[in-house]
Amino acid sequence: MAWVQWLSLIVNWGSEMKIVHLLNTALLALLSALVLNACAHDPKNPHAYLPDAQTEEALVYIEQCGGCHAVPHPQRLSAAAWKDLVVVMDKRREEREHEPLTEAQRKKLMSYLAEHAR
Ligand code: HEC
Protein backbone atom coordinates (compact mmCIF):
# COMPACT_ATOMS: atom_id res chain seq x y z
CA MET A 1 0.00 0.00 0.00
CA ALA A 2 1.32 3.36 -1.01
CA TRP A 3 0.68 5.14 2.30
CA VAL A 4 2.88 2.60 4.13
CA GLN A 5 5.75 3.45 1.81
CA TRP A 6 5.16 7.14 2.39
CA LEU A 7 5.06 6.56 6.10
CA SER A 8 8.31 4.60 6.15
CA LEU A 9 9.90 7.29 3.96
CA ILE A 10 8.91 9.96 6.47
CA VAL A 11 10.10 7.90 9.42
CA ASN A 12 13.43 7.15 7.75
CA TRP A 13 13.84 10.74 6.70
CA GLY A 14 13.21 11.67 10.31
CA SER A 15 15.94 9.39 11.61
CA GLU A 16 18.38 10.59 8.98
CA MET A 17 17.71 14.13 10.12
CA LYS A 18 18.48 13.01 13.67
CA ILE A 19 21.86 11.70 12.56
CA VAL A 20 22.61 14.91 10.67
CA HIS A 21 21.59 16.88 13.73
CA LEU A 22 23.80 14.71 15.93
CA LEU A 23 26.76 15.18 13.60
CA ASN A 24 26.17 18.93 13.50
CA THR A 25 26.06 19.09 17.28
CA ALA A 26 29.26 17.06 17.55
CA LEU A 27 30.98 19.26 14.98
CA LEU A 28 29.86 22.39 16.77
CA ALA A 29 31.10 21.04 20.08
CA LEU A 30 34.45 20.16 18.52
CA LEU A 31 34.81 23.57 16.89
CA SER A 32 33.94 25.48 20.04
CA ALA A 33 36.40 23.34 22.01
CA LEU A 34 39.11 24.25 19.49
CA VAL A 35 38.24 27.95 19.57
CA LEU A 36 38.10 28.04 23.36
CA ASN A 37 41.41 26.25 23.53
CA ALA A 38 43.04 28.63 21.06
CA CYS A 39 42.28 31.66 23.18
CA ALA A 40 42.66 29.97 26.53
CA HIS A 41 42.62 32.81 28.97
CA ASP A 42 41.95 31.94 32.54
CA PRO A 43 40.40 34.99 34.20
CA LYS A 44 41.59 33.69 37.57
CA ASN A 45 45.17 33.61 36.32
CA PRO A 46 45.58 36.46 33.81
CA HIS A 47 49.39 36.27 33.92
CA ALA A 48 49.65 32.62 32.93
CA TYR A 49 51.65 33.72 29.87
CA LEU A 50 54.57 34.66 32.13
CA PRO A 51 57.20 32.03 32.99
CA ASP A 52 57.20 30.89 36.65
CA ALA A 53 54.27 33.21 37.27
CA GLN A 54 53.63 31.85 40.77
CA THR A 55 57.03 32.64 42.31
CA GLU A 56 57.44 35.50 44.76
CA GLU A 57 59.76 37.31 42.31
CA ALA A 58 57.13 37.06 39.59
CA LEU A 59 54.40 38.33 41.88
CA VAL A 60 56.45 41.40 42.80
CA TYR A 61 57.20 41.95 39.12
CA ILE A 62 53.51 41.66 38.17
CA GLU A 63 52.49 43.95 41.00
CA GLN A 64 55.10 46.64 40.30
CA CYS A 65 55.28 46.50 36.51
CA GLY A 66 51.64 45.98 35.66
CA GLY A 67 50.17 49.09 37.23
CA CYS A 68 50.43 51.37 34.17
CA HIS A 69 50.44 48.92 31.26
CA ALA A 70 50.23 45.18 30.58
CA VAL A 71 52.98 43.21 32.27
CA PRO A 72 55.69 42.78 29.59
CA HIS A 73 57.01 39.31 28.86
CA PRO A 74 60.56 39.07 30.31
CA GLN A 75 61.84 37.52 27.07
CA ARG A 76 61.23 40.79 25.34
CA LEU A 77 64.64 42.18 26.36
CA SER A 78 68.09 41.08 27.46
CA ALA A 79 69.02 41.32 31.14
CA ALA A 80 71.21 44.36 30.39
CA ALA A 81 68.40 46.10 28.52
CA TRP A 82 65.98 45.41 31.40
CA LYS A 83 68.39 47.13 33.79
CA ASP A 84 68.28 50.30 31.68
CA LEU A 85 64.55 50.10 31.12
CA VAL A 86 63.73 49.74 34.80
CA VAL A 87 65.63 53.01 35.35
CA VAL A 88 63.39 54.64 32.72
CA MET A 89 60.37 53.19 34.54
CA ASP A 90 61.65 54.72 37.79
CA LYS A 91 61.27 58.08 36.03
CA ARG A 92 57.77 57.18 34.83
CA ARG A 93 56.85 56.33 38.42
CA GLU A 94 58.15 59.64 39.64
CA GLU A 95 56.32 61.65 36.94
CA ARG A 96 53.09 59.92 37.82
CA GLU A 97 53.65 60.21 41.55
CA HIS A 98 53.80 56.49 42.11
CA GLU A 99 55.69 55.26 45.17
CA PRO A 100 59.31 54.48 44.24
CA LEU A 101 60.34 50.82 44.27
CA THR A 102 61.74 49.64 47.59
CA GLU A 103 65.15 47.98 47.40
CA ALA A 104 63.57 44.62 48.22
CA GLN A 105 61.04 44.98 45.38
CA ARG A 106 63.74 46.08 42.95
CA LYS A 107 65.93 43.12 43.87
CA LYS A 108 63.11 40.63 43.37
CA LEU A 109 61.81 41.96 40.09
CA MET A 110 65.31 42.42 38.68
CA SER A 111 66.17 38.84 39.57
CA TYR A 112 62.95 37.68 37.88
CA LEU A 113 63.78 39.68 34.74
CA ALA A 114 67.43 38.55 34.68
CA GLU A 115 66.44 34.91 35.05
CA HIS A 116 63.91 34.97 32.22
CA ALA A 117 65.44 37.58 29.92
CA ARG A 118 66.23 36.64 26.33
C1 HEC B 1 54.03 54.74 36.63
C2 HEC B 1 53.62 53.98 35.47
C3 HEC B 1 54.54 52.86 35.02
C4 HEC B 1 55.01 51.81 35.79
C5 HEC B 1 54.74 51.51 37.25
C6 HEC B 1 55.81 51.00 34.89
N7 HEC B 1 55.78 51.52 33.62
FE8 HEC B 1 56.60 50.70 31.95
N9 HEC B 1 55.88 52.24 30.85
C10 HEC B 1 55.20 53.33 31.33
C11 HEC B 1 54.95 54.26 30.25
C12 HEC B 1 54.21 55.56 30.36
C13 HEC B 1 55.50 53.67 29.09
C14 HEC B 1 55.50 54.19 27.64
C15 HEC B 1 56.45 55.34 27.44
C16 HEC B 1 57.89 55.03 27.70
O17 HEC B 1 58.48 54.20 27.01
O18 HEC B 1 58.42 55.62 28.62
C19 HEC B 1 56.08 52.41 29.50
C20 HEC B 1 56.69 51.53 28.64
C21 HEC B 1 57.23 50.32 29.01
C22 HEC B 1 57.82 49.38 28.11
C23 HEC B 1 57.90 49.53 26.59
C24 HEC B 1 59.15 50.31 26.28
C25 HEC B 1 59.44 50.30 24.81
O26 HEC B 1 60.30 51.10 24.43
O27 HEC B 1 58.83 49.52 24.07
C28 HEC B 1 58.28 48.33 28.84
C29 HEC B 1 58.96 47.08 28.32
C30 HEC B 1 58.00 48.65 30.24
N31 HEC B 1 57.34 49.85 30.28
C32 HEC B 1 58.36 47.85 31.30
C33 HEC B 1 58.10 48.17 32.62
C34 HEC B 1 58.65 47.44 33.75
C35 HEC B 1 59.60 46.25 33.65
C36 HEC B 1 58.13 48.01 34.86
C37 HEC B 1 58.41 47.64 36.30
C38 HEC B 1 59.75 47.86 36.76
C39 HEC B 1 57.27 49.10 34.44
N40 HEC B 1 57.30 49.17 33.08
C41 HEC B 1 56.52 49.88 35.28
C42 HEC B 1 54.78 53.50 32.62
C43 HEC B 1 55.04 52.67 33.68
Q: Whose CA is nearest to atom 24 of ligand 1?
A: 85
Residues 5-11, mean pLDDT to the nearest whole number: 68
CA of 70 to the centre of ligand 1 (A): 9
Residue pLDDT, tens place only, 69-100: 999 999 999 999 999 999 999 999 999 999 99
- The DSSP H or E segment spanning 112 is helix 103-116
Enumerate residues 6+ apart whose C-beta is below 8 A from 55.
Answer: 112
Kindly state if the Cβ of 50 falls inside 6 Å of ligand 1: no
Which atom, in ligand 1's list, is nearest to the CA of 113? 35
